[in-house]
Amino acid sequence: MHSREAPHTPGDPAGIPRLTPREGEVLRLLGAAVQNREIGKRLGIAERTVKAHLGNLMSKIAVTTRIEAAIFAYAHYGALTERATHGDDKPSAPRTRRSNPAHTDVVPPL
C-alpha cells in the first residue's frame, strides 16, 4: 500500500497573530468563498478597500494568490475563528462612508 500524505497547505500560520481585526474578517469571509464585492457589502467598506486588505493579509500569511489565501483560510478557519471569539480580533462595525465628491467605487483594471 502507498502511504498518502496530506497535501501541503499554502501559507504560514505564524502570520495569523499579525493580522489586523479587519484583515481577519476579510480572510474568514474569503475562506467561506465570499467574493470581494460581497465582503465589502458585509463589512461596509469599498471593494477596493477589500482588495487592499487582501494584499496586506496575503503578505502576512505568506501566500501569493487569492486562491492560496482562500485555501489557507479554510485550512486555518478554527484558529482564525478562535482568535476572533477570544477578543484578539473583535469584529469591526461597518464603516460609514464620508461624503467625498472625489470618491467613486469605479476601480481601473489592474
Domain ranges of the chain: 18-85
Q: What is the CATH number of domain 18-85?
A: 1.10.10.10
pLDDT at 101: 47
Half-sphere exposure of 89 (CA within 13 A, CB side): 20
- pTM for the model: 0.71
**pLDDT for 1-10, tens place per residue?**
555 776 678 9
- Say whether pLDDT at 35 is over 90: yes
Residue 65: DSSP 8-state: S
Half-sphere exposure of 60 (CA within 13 A, CB side): 17
**pLDDT for 61-84, tens place per residue?**
999 999 999 999 999 988 888 877
Residues 6 or more apart in contact with residue 23 via CB below 8 angstroms: 53, 56, 57, 60
Give 14 or 85, the one with higher predicted confidence: 14
CA end-to-end distance (rounded Å), the chain = 48
pLDDT at 88: 52
Q: Distance between CA atoms of 52 and 4, rounded to whole angstroms?
A: 38
